[in-house]
A and B are shown apart, each in its own frame.
Chain A
Amino acid sequence: MTLFELHDLTFSYGGRPALSHVDAKVQPGSVGLLGPNGAGKTTLIRTLLGLTDPNAGRATVLGVDPQRQAALVRQLVGYMPENEAWFKDLNGFEAVRYAGRLSGLPPAAAIQRAHEVLDYAGLGEARYRPVGEYSTGMKQRVKLAQAIVHGPRLAFLDEPTNGLDPHGRDEMLALITDLGRIGISVVLSTHILGDVERVCSDVLLMVAGEIKHYGPLSAFRKGNDGEYLVGVKAGREALIEALGHEGLYGRADPEDPLLFRVKLEPERVPTLWRVAHHLGLQLRHVEPETLSLETALMRFLSGAS
């Protein structure tokens, strides 16, 4: 079953399109939801939670229509909001237990699950302090605990590492990565591309209310169509020149004298080895070039524009 499906989904705020004829079938796993400000990420999540009524088209979440069965969808999924939000006058444990009860856990199960998930989130004795007194990192942990206490099959996490120090961010990302192990798919909406690189297997890119790309992160990060990064022990220029005679044109890396890039089809990789062997040169590595997510995103956006 898909995580969610969008069919020609359209929604506009006062005439300004926030989602524009969006189509997608998103598979289970951890999905990074990327896009510049105003791209429609939050509107998409709100629509999937049944918090907006689309102008046209429809969506399903785990096979359920959020416009018709919003309560059921919200019971099947968890949501961690971006902003600081907490239940007034409750301590960490009470807040998570209450969130569990609101999500449908029976009373006894809510108590047990609240303790388990707070252990999991790393909130020790602090669970008995009022949430309003927590640090930003602890509030983020409580929000995550509240989102998953009832065992959702899908969790929408909106900027979960906002305001965290590097250590806190590491721990939060480790928790999010671990959610996949226990069978909770994740949709991670964030501006921090490093978080997506660490956690997500797929990426869904939105620009101006449209989905511009959905697919595996590894494919998204691949360099310019079939460009390989080649490292040699010595003799880079000679190898580039010899490859030119074979119709393969290499570009020397401006920063590393032992690296160059060459565009070639996978079946022509043996040619590379043959030419190097012929010249008596030693290849250190040959691999499809992988871009940082930031570079890949910038290239994609500049190409899209």
Chain B
Amino acid sequence: MSIYVRRFSRYEGKLEPPRGRFRVILLAELRRIFADKWWRRFLFGAAMPAVMMAGWLYLMTTFQEATGAELDFPFFSVLFGWQFSWLGIMQAWFGASMITGDMQTKALSLYFTRPIDATQYLLGKLGATMALALTITWIPSLLVAVVQYSVADHLTFGAFAENVWSITACSMGAAFTTSALILLLSSTGLSARYVGITWLGAFVFLEAIRGILYESTGRSEALDVLSLARLLSGSVEYYFLGASHKLGSVITLWGVGALLTLILRIRLSGFEKARS
């Protein structure tokens, strides 16, 4: 028997309106991931390229003739190259468990019997995964941009703001599409480890297919749709270089993300409601 006196009464206070309830899921997921010691170690590793590049920028502008202002494209292209690699690993490691964990513990039945529908659930999970992705793409890049602005002699505020916009747009596109894809894989109900391996395997497989087709069919840029890495680097070129011919990569990247999100929404709706 319990040693506690059972004094319990119904809650008579005010309940929060159901709209916006996805924030509860989003914050709970972030709390869960941030409490993981492996996430902290991962974050430390993912911050290294940005720290090193900020240090390099500082040293170069301090001890050499460079002003720092002329470094925009190659500099951020290299940085995003690193951060996108970390992003891929992060999604395989942490994003993979987002939905599959709930499916393995049958927690979906706990969510959907509360004032949470498939859309709210999706927004919560997608928001959390994107927030994690932005933590290793947007925030480090933004910090480097701030360092660049502070040490570069001739970088105007307008140019800095343009850099911030480019960093934000690149990071958001990458975070959105990769998050949608890993969540869709995660909703298959396989183990998180298997989802992570599938994610990395599919990435390598599609790169290989694109490479083969690229060599055999006349090097068409249309094949970039098969390559997430090409889409991401294309969006970096578009935003930082203004390469208008890469607009297709940006549209494709967001379009694929939106399509995957729609498929995921339909799939989650199937878990929520039984159809006749």
- B2 is an interface residue with CB less than 8 A from chain A: yes
- A103 is an interface residue with CB less than 8 A from chain B: yes
Is A104's CB under 8 angstroms from B16's CB?
A: yes
Q: Which A77-114 residues have a C-beta within 8 angstroms of B?
A: 79, 81, 83-90, 98-99, 101-106, 109, 113
Given A53-B275, A75-B15, A113-B11, A87-B110 contact (CB < 8 Å): yes
Given A102-B21, A104-B15, A178-B6 contact (CB < 8 Å): yes
- B222 is an interface residue with CB less than 8 A from chain A: no
Given A101-B24, A103-B114, A83-B109 contact (CB < 8 Å): yes
Given A75-B15, A151-B12, A103-B110 contact (CB < 8 Å): no
Please indicate the chain B residues that have their CB under 8 angstroms from the CB of A171 in the complex.
1
- A163 is an interface residue with CB less than 8 A from chain B: no
- A269 is an interface residue with CB less than 8 A from chain B: no
- A119 is an interface residue with CB less than 8 A from chain B: yes
Is B4's CB under 8 angstroms from A119's CB?
A: yes
Is B13's CB under 8 angstroms from A109's CB?
A: yes
CA distance A76 to B111 in the complex (A): 15
Among B3, B6, B13, B276: residue with most chain A CB under 10 A: B276
Interface size class of chain B, counting residues whose CB lies under 8 Å from the partner chain: 35 or more
- A150 is an interface residue with CB less than 8 A from chain B: yes
Interface size class of chain A, counting residues whose CB lies under 8 Å from the partner chain: 35 or more
B36 nearest CB across to chain A (Å): 9
- A271 is an interface residue with CB less than 8 A from chain B: no
Which residue of chain B has its CB nearest to the CB of A100? B11
B101 nearest CB across to chain A (Å): 4
Please indicate the chain B residues that have their CB under 8 angstroms from the CB of A79 in the complex.
113-114
- A51 is an interface residue with CB less than 8 A from chain B: yes
Please indicate the chain B residues that have their CB under 8 angstroms from the CB of A52 in the complex.
273-276
A45 nearest CB across to chain B (Å): 9
Q: Which of A54, A70, A72, A122 contacts B2 (CB 8 A)?
A: A122
- B272 is an interface residue with CB less than 8 A from chain A: yes
- B255 is an interface residue with CB less than 8 A from chain A: no
Please indicate the chain B residues that have their CB under 8 angstroms from the CB of A184 in the complex.
10
- A260 is an interface residue with CB less than 8 A from chain B: no
Which residue of chain B has its CB nearest to the CB of A178? B6
CA distance A153 to B10 in the complex (A): 8
Is A75's CB under 8 angstroms from B18's CB?
A: yes
- A74 is an interface residue with CB less than 8 A from chain B: yes
Given A74-B114, A120-B6, A13-B11 contact (CB < 8 Å): no
Please indicate the chain A residues that have their CB under 8 angstroms from the CB of B55 in the complex.
none
Is B16's CB under 8 angstroms from A72's CB?
A: no
Q: Which of A13, A81, A106, A178 contacts B109 (CB 8 A)?
A: A81
Is B1's CB under 8 angstroms from A74's CB?
A: no
Q: Mark B90-113, 1 if CB is under 8 A from A, else 0.
A: 000000010001101111011111
A152 nearest CB across to chain B (Å): 8
Q: Which of B2, B11, B28, B105 contacts A105 (CB 8 A)?
A: B11
Q: Which B260-276 residues have a C-beta within 8 angstroms of A?
A: 272-276
- A117 is an interface residue with CB less than 8 A from chain B: yes
Q: Which B1-33 residues have a C-beta within 8 angstroms of A?
A: 1-18, 21, 24-25, 28, 32
Please indicate the chain A residues that have their CB under 8 angstroms from the CB of B15 in the complex.
75, 103-105, 150
Q: Which of B10, B16, B101, B110 contacts A81 (CB 8 A)?
A: B110
Is A51's CB under 8 angstroms from B272's CB?
A: yes
Please indicate the chain A residues that have their CB under 8 angstroms from the CB of B111 in the complex.
102
B112 nearest CB across to chain A (Å): 7
Which residue of chain B has its CB nearest to the CB of A43? B274
CA distance A227 to B124 in the complex (A): 61
Is B28's CB under 8 angstroms from A98's CB?
A: yes
- A234 is an interface residue with CB less than 8 A from chain B: no
Please indicate the chain A residues that have their CB under 8 angstroms from the CB of B24 in the complex.
98, 101-102
Q: List 11 A-B contacts (CB under 8 A).
A: A13-B276, A74-B116, A86-B105, A89-B101, A98-B28, A102-B116, A116-B7, A122-B2, A122-B4, A171-B1, A182-B10
Top 10 closest pairs, chain A to chain B, by CB? A151-B11, A104-B15, A122-B2, A120-B8, A85-B106, A71-B18, A151-B10, A71-B115, A119-B4, A79-B113
Given contacts A74-B113, A104-B16, 18 further A-B contacts (CB under 8 A): A13-B276, A70-B115, A71-B117, A75-B15, A79-B113, A85-B110, A86-B110, A88-B105, A98-B28, A102-B116, A103-B114, A104-B115, A109-B11, A113-B11, A123-B2, A182-B8, A182-B9, A183-B10
